[in-house]
Chain A
Amino acid sequence: MSNNDFKVVATDPIDPDEAFLASIRLDPAQIEAVVKIPVTLQCRKPGRHEFVRVHPTLQLTVGAIELKDDTDGGLCLVGQAMVASLGDELKMFVLRPYINKVGTMRLWPIRQPDPDGKQNEWHRSAATAAARAVEKWVRITSNRDLGGYELFEAVNQGAEPAWPPGLDLAKMMKLAFADRGRVVDSPEHPLVKQLYGRL
């Protein structure tokens, strides 16, 4: 091969033929071939390896019971009728929708300070991380020595999160709690029976 390699410089439109061919070009716009039907939603803190962003506006404060041995974050919503009867078992959480880099959405349950204003460092550092995640891609890892979460911000922030259109917190609550039997709304709920030694 000779050393006559060179780049070809683009030229102006060649003649009316280009316009003619362009005129018979079909619109390649795609019709969505599938519609994603959400069937489940998790309510738990982000995994230690995933970078996440928190939705800037959607959030909901709820009363819930936290089950420590549950792998799914262990929250059960408490219906209004049961608030009074559950006493200290009831904790307040802010649920914040978040999304990871592959587009999976979840709810992040962030424990709120007790009525007397006390809040441990785990909960406070989680709230700080969630607030930061509104603006930046971050990940969190727990550090027992520190007694709280460590926050890591991605150096390469990449693209902004693609929030699904028409996000609806009520639908998310239904998927995460109601559809999964995670709403405590009567004294006969197995969780209440367990708490009161009736199970």
Chain B
Amino acid sequence: MSGFDQYAEIWVVDSEYYAPAGERQVPACIVARELRTGSVVRRVYGEFASAPPFGVDGRALYVSFYASAEMGTHLALGWPLPRNIVDLFAEFRVATNGRETPAGSGLLGALAYHGLDSISAAQKDPGREIAMRGPPWGEEQRAQLLAYCTSDVDATARLFDRMAPAIDLPRALFRGRYMAAAARMEWNGTPIDTATLATLREQWEHIQTDLIAEIDKDYGCFEGTTFKRALFEQFLARNGIAWPRLKSGQLDLEDDTFKEIARSNPIIAPLREIRSSLSQMRLARLSVGSDARNRAMLSAFGASSGRNTPSNTKFIFGPSVWMRGLIKPEPNTALAYIDWSAQEFGIAAALSGDERMMAAYRSGDPYLEFARQAGAVPVDATKQSHKSTRDMFKTVVLGVGYGMEAETLAGRLGISTIESRALLQKHRETYPQFCRWSQNSVDTAMSGTPLNTVFGWRYTVGPHLRRAEANPRTVRNFPMQANGAEMLRIACCLATERGVRVCAPVHDAILIEAPADQIEAEVVRMGGYMAAASRIVLAGFELRTDAEIIRYPDRYSDARGQVMWDRVMKLLRARAPVAYG
């Protein structure tokens, strides 16, 4: 085991807890086994002390499977978080990312993948069921919880023994460190305007009928509450909108397609919002605790890119952007949404070493600078004077990241394929170093060599590739998304460890919270950590950040969902004049 002998103690830990939707967890028990001595410590509900019964300082290594759960237990008990964490879930994901894991990526799946025995489902379910019944737990139940938890510790220890030789310890410790940051963010959660949420939930059935009636008068695509493909086709024809089709010739009605088209064609946005809202029952499933905070498991390392994959329905930053209007700071506090400017462009520029692309990023407006470098706008062009050209070049840059071809680009921009080919050609001519680097990434992955981020998150296209991901376009964007995820993880670690109250990470952005009179200082602090994270990932190349501050009683809003939010609020005022009159 390379590097593990530096630790005086290696503790394998598992915990059980009760955590209803949106609430902080209530610990039920925690069990730890020290691998060298074999000693086992158990603590159960009613017997927890003020400090953990095992080492958490620099001399000890803490091993668990999906460590943010155990970190939640530490936070609930007021215990310090371990200094050194190896999370076998994260390491299993690294080792198998892109490959088929027949029994999934949970503990049982990882054990099965390595040919190890595990507790049977029959044993596991009652144990979990007891924990999820919630406190108080009686004597017999506590014994069952401890037995169940101990069996998971034993299984995790066997898994560690099998996986340890291949674990890249320095990077594994960084991933473990992020699991602690994730736990802190889940613990904080995001403040929600629960009064508005409650009224919305109460009135939703009526409101959705009103919404369809109001929105659909501009589209004519619904019959009752059902979206009709044929009517949508007629709408597209009436408005001359080109729409992607499936191989069968049918219109592609995937939400992602609506999302893409809505970016360049705002008329589609309200239709996408209403379809999304109706299909997902998002209001009902949003996880909000009794303290009016949205909490959802961040599901760190869930995506191929290593990004978090929290539930779209439980997490307030799921795709229904209009619902983000429910985010509202508590009295005397403020929120700040801080994001990296043109993060993927900056990452692509720095990691590919394309000097012109780096110069474009440094210019402050990479899309306008690209247009300038390509000779499409004069040297003195501004975002205002050449908005449409800038937007066009922005679409090209974003499209190229996913390997967009001329036909799709033409449809997206509403131009001919001759023009779209010329734009793609401009991109290749302007950034030849990036294009070679990007193509080499695709060639590397598709020839079976793993693609790695600068912190060792890995994606392997292998013989057991998950079919949906065998796509060169996914691979092409991997370096940007996956290194962006590393950047986010670093920023979250630096911030949460230094006391910034992070509510939620959102891919290329972070939502923080602070007392109203301290928010500017906290934004500067957070911006500093995000700048540092970019320097670390990009070997000194620094990405800029922008921040928006939301002070009580204002609420968060996202431009993409503003129209929908205003509509819903108007309907809500009409339906519930007492609360919203």
Report which A residues bind B (CB closer than 8 A): 1-2, 4-11, 13-14, 17-18, 21-22, 24-28, 30-34, 101-103, 154-156, 158-159, 162
Contact = CB atoms under 8 A, between A and B. Distances in A.
Contact of A24 (B171, B430, B545, B549): B171
Nearest to A25: B454
Interface in B414-454: 425, 428-430, 432, 437, 440-441, 443-444, 447, 449, 452-454
Given A1-B554, A14-B494, A28-B351, 9 more contacts: A2-B550, A7-B545, A10-B527, A14-B529, A28-B452, A28-B454, A32-B440, A102-B429, A159-B430
Contacts, number: 122
A30 B547 contact: no
B536 interface: yes
Interface in B535-581: 535-537, 539, 542, 544-551, 554, 556-557
Nearest to A6: B547
Contacts of A103: 432
Contacts of A155: 375
- Where chain B touches its partner, the secondary structure class is helix
A162 B548 CA distance: 43
Contact of A8 (B449, B536, B545): B545
A101 B437 CA distance: 17
A6 B527 CA distance: 11
5 contacts: A6-B523, A8-B547, A24-B174, A33-B443, A159-B432
Nearest to B527: A8
B528 to A, nearest CB: 4
Given A30-B437, A155-B375, A8 B546 contact: yes
Given A1-B550, A26-B452, A158-B375, A101 B536 contact: no
Given A8-B544, A18-B536, A26-B452, A1 B556 contact: yes
Contacts of A28: 351, 452-454
A21 B174 contact: yes
Interface residues of B, number: 53
Contacts of A156: 374-375
B539 A25 contact: yes
A1 B430 contact: no
Contacts of B443: 33-34
B430 to A, nearest CB: 7
B536 A25 contact: yes
Contacts of B452: 26, 28
Contacts of B20: none
A21 B456 CA distance: 13
Contacts of A24: 170-171, 174, 455
Interface in B488-543: 490, 494, 523-524, 526-532, 535-537, 539, 542
Given A1-B557, A22-B536, A25-B536, A11 B527 contact: yes
B494 A2 contact: no
B338 interface: yes
B535 A18 contact: yes
B42 interface: no
